Amino acid sequence: MTPPANPVAAAQEPALSLPGSLVLRLMAVAALVVVLASAASVWLVSRAAGQEAMRRVVGQQTDEVEVVARLLASKIEQSQKVLRTVAQGITPAMLESPSSLDWLLQQGLPAVGFFDALQVARKDGELRLNIRAGQLIKAADLDPAERDALRRTLIDGKPQVSELIAGRTSNARILFTLPLHSEEGAVLGVVAGALRLQSQGLLPQSMALPARDDSRLVVFTRDGTILSHTDPARIMGQVRDEPGLAPVFAEWLRRAQPVVGRGVTEVQPDHIVSVAGMPLPQWFVARVSNSQALLAPLQGAQRDAWWLAAAVIALGVLLLATAMAWMAQPLAQLCRGAQQLLRHDARGAIEWPGGRGEVGALVRVFDGLAQQRRQQDHLHALLHGQFQAILQNASVGIVITRHGVLEVVGRQACLTLGYAEGELQGRPARTLYGSDADYARLGERVQSAFAAHGTFDGDVCFVRKDGSPVWARVQGRKVNSEALGGGTVWMLEDITAAREAQYQQAWELTHDALTQLHNRSAFDHRLALLLAERSARSRATGAAGTAVDDAPDDGVMLFLDLDHFTLVNDVAGHDAGDDVLRHVARLIETQVRQVGWSARLGGDEFAVVLPGCPLARGQAVAEQLRATVQAWEPSYQGRSFTLGVSIGLVVLDAHLHDVASVLNAADMACYDAKRAGRNRVETRHARDMTSSGRMALGPY
């Protein structure tokens, strides 16, 4: 859909819409990717630069120690050449004439001045000449180490460079020896020249300069004695005390490797150590540098690079976020229009964004949804009006429940239940029942009916708002449970009046109108049910092998006949007689209500059945009834009357099978009470039948 043609409406739109959460998450992810990629690139470049710088430092330092080692080796070779020149001027005859040697060395050979000291000895070890600083020195003053060097040369017949001849640092020296050979090659003697350690011909102090805090140049022997050091105080010290160099020297000693001229470098956490050897004198040249100090400029440059990279990354992220926010404007406008559509705010036209692609397709979809929404709203309003009309005018109550809550209650249902319209809306369905037990029982009935028939149809007793009961015929059916979430539609029809009329009619059929007790037909029916139940149990016990005479009794029956009742009728009239019957009925009902039931058989005769009552208990109840009636003295028309009651008690044992036999037995027991003087209780137990079919009775 294209943008609206109305410029005023378009101008009302905000110039910039904030992006939504999805775009913000995409911006965050993009920014994170840019930051991580840039940081990784800077780290890789910085790491590569550090490695390259380290490689160059290692290469330069290795080259340096190799050059210094070669320079020192060339000095030693030069010293040996000078000594060889001296040896060539000494003849065998001169070895026998010390004065000739002295003149030759002091006057004839200028090269002799190259050395600080010079000695000549014959092959037998006799020192023929010992000159130091141009002065002739006694043979006894020759250092033992120098004497040993001369002896080794005579024995080996080879030129040698002695180990350091120690003394004071300023007097430490190196002795160069060269054998003197005859024309036949035999060793005639030895000539030796000594150079001080710090002489110009060997290791001048200037060789260790310039001194730097971050680097040291060290020359040391194979036994670890320092010959030259940037710090003069360390000369003649031990390499094992040198930071950084000590572990390298210890490792060389452990491996027992030969001294070679090729330089090697070891990079340690805090030091860079480069070592090159000089095979002839068995010396080492080492450069020990502080790696942190050497790489400090590089690390500073790396920190600057990181800050610069951070600034560039921040600028890039800002530009990226701005570009993404600008590109997401159509999507933000689309989201705002969709929210208006969801809130039903679009009574007019919604300003959708223009464009093609995905946004344009979504605009067309939302526009179609807006049209469908308007159609559905119109249809919904129409259906809602019709539904409300049904709720207001239906002759039956309509109720819709969902999850035990009253969601819709029609006007007629409210009237039936005694509530105002809308008062029951949203309240629990339990409100309409007298107790939780009633609500639970109805729920079980409903579930059973739904399971069996899919519907419910039955009479239900509800409780009105004022607490009075109301009976209704209820029909219920579940409607589209998936769409309504378990909703159920109920139809209620008030049947309280009809049920009361029906109950009154049934009550009149089973009760005596005068005394409100059960009448003769109801009594016969209830007693027949009791005997039938007893008979079924008897058959069950008989099948189990129990004798009939051993079966337990099912209670007792009392047959009551008022004494002197006709006198009340004759003297006070039938109204007084009716009042006597009503009062006696209330006395009987009060006494036996908890343990049995009573009935009026006709006239002044009453019956009481005590199911499951033992004989002794039955006799006590009968005696209580007799005493209660006797204690009552009614007064009518100014005259008092004394009444009594004759009671016949019969045990309901297995010999009494039907209602007629029970009534006959009780009537005869009551007759015995009358004949014995009235106002008494006579108990009888059925034993057997007479030959004429009448039951024979005897005292219990």
**E strands in 414-526:** 455-463, 469-478, 488-494
Closest C-alpha to 517, from 606, 630, 613, 626: 606
For the chain, count helices (H), then strands (E): 17, 24
Q: Which residues, other chains included, contact 291 with Cβ-Cβ below 8 Å and sequence gap of 6+? A: 54, 267, 268, 269, 270, 271, 272
Q: What mean pLDDT do residues 87-98 have?
A: 75
Q: At 698, is the pLDDT very low, low, confident or very high (cuts 50, 70, 90)?
A: very low
Per-residue HEC secondary structure of 346-395 comes to: CCCCCCCCCCCHHHHHHHHHHHHHHHHHHHHHHHHHHHHHHHHHHHHHCC
Q: Poorest-confidence range of 179-183, 230-234, 466-470, 611-615?
A: 230-234
pLDDT value, residue 657 = 79
Q: Which residues, other chains included, contact 363 with Cβ-Cβ below 8 Å and sequence gap of 6+? A: 1, 334, 352, 353, 355
Residue holding tokens 């020149």?
85
Closest C-alpha to 115, from 162, 93, 83: 83
pLDDT tops 80 at residue 213:
no
Closest C-alpha to 397, from 412, 383, 382, 376: 412
Tell me the pLDDT tens digit for each residue of 381-437. 888 888 888 888 888 889 999 888 998 999 998 988 989 988 888 999 999 998 999
pLDDT tops 50 at residue 11:
no
Tell me the pLDDT tens digit for each residue of 540-550. 766 555 544 55
pLDDT tops 80 at residue 212:
no
User: Sign (positive/negative) of CA torsion 658, 664, 667, 673?
Assistant: negative
Tell me the pLDDT tens digit for each residue of 496-518. 877 777 777 778 888 898 988 99
Q: How many other C-beta atoms can be found within 10 angstroms of the C-beta atom of residue 424?
A: 21
User: Structure tokens of 18?
Assistant: 């904030």
Which residues make beta-bridge pairs with 542?
none
% of the chain residues with pLDDT over 90: 19
pLDDT value, residue 1 = 39
Angstrom CA distances, 548 to 11, 306, 307, 462, stand at 107, 112, 113, 49
Closest C-alpha to 475, from 488, 487, 457, 461: 457
Gap between the Cα atoms of 278 and 77, Å rounded:
11
Gap between the Cα atoms of 409 and 418, Å rounded:
12
Indicate the Cα dihedral angle 515, 521, 524, 529, nearest 10°.
-110
Angle at 117 between CA 209 and CA 75, to 5 degrees: 40
Q: At 197, is the pLDDT very low, low, confident or very high (cuts 50, 70, 90)?
A: confident
pLDDT value, residue 508 = 81
pLDDT tops 80 at residue 289:
yes
Q: Cis ω on the peptide bond leading into residue 204 (within 30° of 0)?
A: no
Domains of the chain: 16-327 (3.30.450.20), 394-498 (3.30.450.20), 511-699 (3.30.70.270)
Answer for the pair 418, 411: CB distance below 8 angstroms, yes or no.
Answer: no
Q: What is the pTM of this model?
A: 0.43
* 3-state secondary structure at position 134: coil
